[in-house]
């Protein structure tokens, strides 16, 4: 595994000489050859040239392809099909193997993808369904800021793919305006964690992006990047951008709120937030650490909402 990762990293910088890599890593040439073969078996077709091994021009959407050139310290586990990447990541976290920190679980398709409150999340093949498992030194009360970071990272990656996405509090990534959601939903985020004595012991941030998904496969009010762009998107690149951006944001948590504020359509909008029975209606005026929405009600009171479903009743006047 170490040789494989080192080989991928070396390939990202240009042609690699097998004997030199073996010497650098202090492993046998056969071990390097085995790593080359394991990458090829996965569809990551390393070429042998006179200058040495060369990476394929178009890396596949597999564990090796996603890890290749990734500027973030995550190991990658890829599955064709899973029930849910969040469930798999949680299972790994609970196995209590410290090796499982900084791991991302990716599936091409999920059988029982989940939204918040165990709602169904449609996850046909072609989407980006991913869970990031970390063991951050964070208090459980502060963990919601990681959901905001994931929303910022996802919105930025969508924008880089040419789709003007914005964030609806707390975790929806939308395109356009209107409808009861305040836009067409292109991505959602589900964060799960466990803590001990107020410290997070593991955190799983699940991100679902409708990348190359047909609208007919999605619920009404949803869209995909391919639909918005009129052509399919490079999922590998999209996922790499999400992971890189997310990683950078969580290492600089002080910058997350401002980045979120810049990309949201919720602030300034008239909203109704359903907190599971109780609703609050008014103007969304701010988001406070670690993700609390501040709503000014018509009688001038400020209500702080920690979690709920938010509906945009009237967009912010811009």
Least separation in angstroms between residue 147's CB and ligand BT5 is: 10
Q: What is the H or E stretch that residue 21 is in?
A: helix 18-25
Interacting residues with ligand BT5 (CB under 6 A)? 84-86, 110, 113-117, 119-123, 129-131, 185, 188-190, 206-208, 210, 218-219, 222
Least separation in angstroms between residue 190's CB and ligand BT5 is: 4
Q: How far apart are CA 234 and CA 236, in angstroms?
A: 6
Nearest 5°: the CA angle 26, 244, 97 is 60
Least separation in angstroms between residue 27's CB and ligand BT5 is: 35
**Quick one: 52 or 176, whose CB is closer to ligand BT5?**
176
Q: How far apart are CA 157 and CA 146, in angstroms?
A: 16
How is residue 316 annotated by DSSP? Answer: P
SS3 142: helix
Nearest to 212 by CA among 163, 278, 144, 172: 163
Least separation in angstroms between residue 267's CB and ligand BT5 is: 19
**Quick one: 189 or 249, whose CB is closer to ligand BT5?**
189
Nearest to 209 by CA among 169, 171, 176: 171
Least separation in angstroms between residue 165's CB and ligand BT5 is: 13
**Quick one: 136 or 170, whose CB is closer to ligand BT5?**
170
**Quick one: 111 or 199, whose CB is closer to ligand BT5?**
111
Q: How far apart are CA 145 and CA 115, in angstroms?
A: 18
Least separation in angstroms between residue 281's CB and ligand BT5 is: 19
CA terminus-to-terminus distance, the chain: 52
Cis, peptide link before residue 216, omega less than 30° from 0: no
**Quick one: 59 or 206, whose CB is closer to ligand BT5?**
206
Least separation in angstroms between residue 213's CB and ligand BT5 is: 7
Q: What is the H or E stretch that residue 312 is in?
A: strand 309-314
Which residue minimizes CB distance to ligand BT5?
A: 188
Structure tokens at 277: 């029975």
**Quick one: 207 or 257, whose CB is closer to ligand BT5?**
207
**Quick one: 46 or 238, whose CB is closer to ligand BT5?**
238
Tabulate helix, strand, coil % of the chain (nearest 5).
Answer: 35, 30, 35
Q: How far apart are CA 249 and CA 229, in angstroms?
A: 27
């Amino acid at each position: 595994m170490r040789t494989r990762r080192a080989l991928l990293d070396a390939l990202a910088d240009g042609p690699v000489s097998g004997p030199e890599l073996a010497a650098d890593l202090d492993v046998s040439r056969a071990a390097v050859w085995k790593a080359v073969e394991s990458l090829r078996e996965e569809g990551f077709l390393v070429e042998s040239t006179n200058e040495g091994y060369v990476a394929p021009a178009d890396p596949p959407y597999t564990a090796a392809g996603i890890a290749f050139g990734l500027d973030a310290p995550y190991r990658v586990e890829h599955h064709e099909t899973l029930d849910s990447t969040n469930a798999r990541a949680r299972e790994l976290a609970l196995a209590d193997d410290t090796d499982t920190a900084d791991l991302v679980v990716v599936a091409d398709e999920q059988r029982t993808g989940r939204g918040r409150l165990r709602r169904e999340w449609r996850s046909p093949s072609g989407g980006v369904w991913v869970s990031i498992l970390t063991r951050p030194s964070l208090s459980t009360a502060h963990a919601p800021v990681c959901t905001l970071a994931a929303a910022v990272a996802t919105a930025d990656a969508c924008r880089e793919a040419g789709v003007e996405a914005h964030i609806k509090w707390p975790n929806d990534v939308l395109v356009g305006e209107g409808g009861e959601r305040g836009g067409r939903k292109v991505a959602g985020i589900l964060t799960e964690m466990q803590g001990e004595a107020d410290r997070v012991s593991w955190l799983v941030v699940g991100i679902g992006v409708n990348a190359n998904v047909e609208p007919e496969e999605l619920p009404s009010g949803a869209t995909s990047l391919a639909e918005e762009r009129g052509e399919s998107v490079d999922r590998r690149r999209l996922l790499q951008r999400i992971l890189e951006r997310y990683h950078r944001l969580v290492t600089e948590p002080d910058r997350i709120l401002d980045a979120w504020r810049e990309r949201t359509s919720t602030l300034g909008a008239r909203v109704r937030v359903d907190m599971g029975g109780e609703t609050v209606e008014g103007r969304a005026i701010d988001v406070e650490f670690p993700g609390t929405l501040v709503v000014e009600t018509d009688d001038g009171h400020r209500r702080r909402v920690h979690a709920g479903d938010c509906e945009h009743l009237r967009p912010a006047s811009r």
